[in-house]
Amino acid sequence: MSDKTSLRKQMKETLSMLSKPAYEDYSYKIAAKLFEEENWIQAKVVGITVSKAPEVDTYQIIRKAWELGKQVAVPKCYPVERKLSFRTLSEFSQLESVYYGLMEPIVELTSEVPSEEIDLLIVPGAAYTREGYRLGFGGGYYDRYLTNYFGKTLSLAFNEQIIPQFPVEEHDIPVSKIITNLEVIETK
């Protein structure tokens, strides 16, 4: 367990050393690659997190989805049940800041999107292997969500987040593709 914890910490430090220009440049390159992906082009409903630096910037991706007429669904965490629910987002003012400065949809202003309606789920993580296994942020929310999600998955990562290996457990579900600022890694 401590392996994963120290790995998360180390990754956070590595990413926090990215300069603002590099962060913007890499995020832009990742988004540009995403926009060329068939799964993105065909998706009518995209599930995506609202990024918090130093994660890959998703605000520009959400804006682009709106411009293209896609429906955007963003996650809300229920810490007591440790579950995740995705809710519609049609403008940034429907977000509120919850614990740790995370932005989540305001329940009264948004409606729930069932997992079977999400065509493409962009799965966040702290680090990834080239096989598509991800080291999450420790809550296990996505691990649980992915067991009942059967649409397309991919992750966005800075090249620094691709690591040779980490302890993989049997409940870990790999994503099918990772887009970095340098390459698109097909994992399956």
Residue 1: pLDDT above 60? Answer: no
Over residues 4-33, mean pLDDT: 94
* Distance between CA atoms of residues 102 and 88, nearest Å: 17
Of 19-28, 63-72, 131-140, 152-161, least confident by mean pLDDT is 131-140
Q: Which residue has the tokens 């963003």?
A: 74
Average pLDDT of the chain to the nearest whole number: 94
Confidence (pLDDT) at 4: 86
Helix (H, G, I), strand (E, B) or coil at 14: helix
**Confidence bin at 2 (pLDDT 50/70/90):** low
Identity of residue 115: S
> Rounded to two decimals, what is the model's pTM?
0.94
* Interval 90-111: pLDDT, tens: 999 999 999 878 899 999 999 9
Please state whether beta strands 177-179 and 184-186 pair in parallel, antiparallel, or not at all (unpaired): antiparallel
Give the per-residue SS3 of 63-130: HHHHHCCCEEEEEEEECCCCEEEEEEECCHHHEEECHHHCEEECHHHCCECCHHHCCEEECCCCEECC
Q: Which residue has the tokens 């991919």?
A: 154
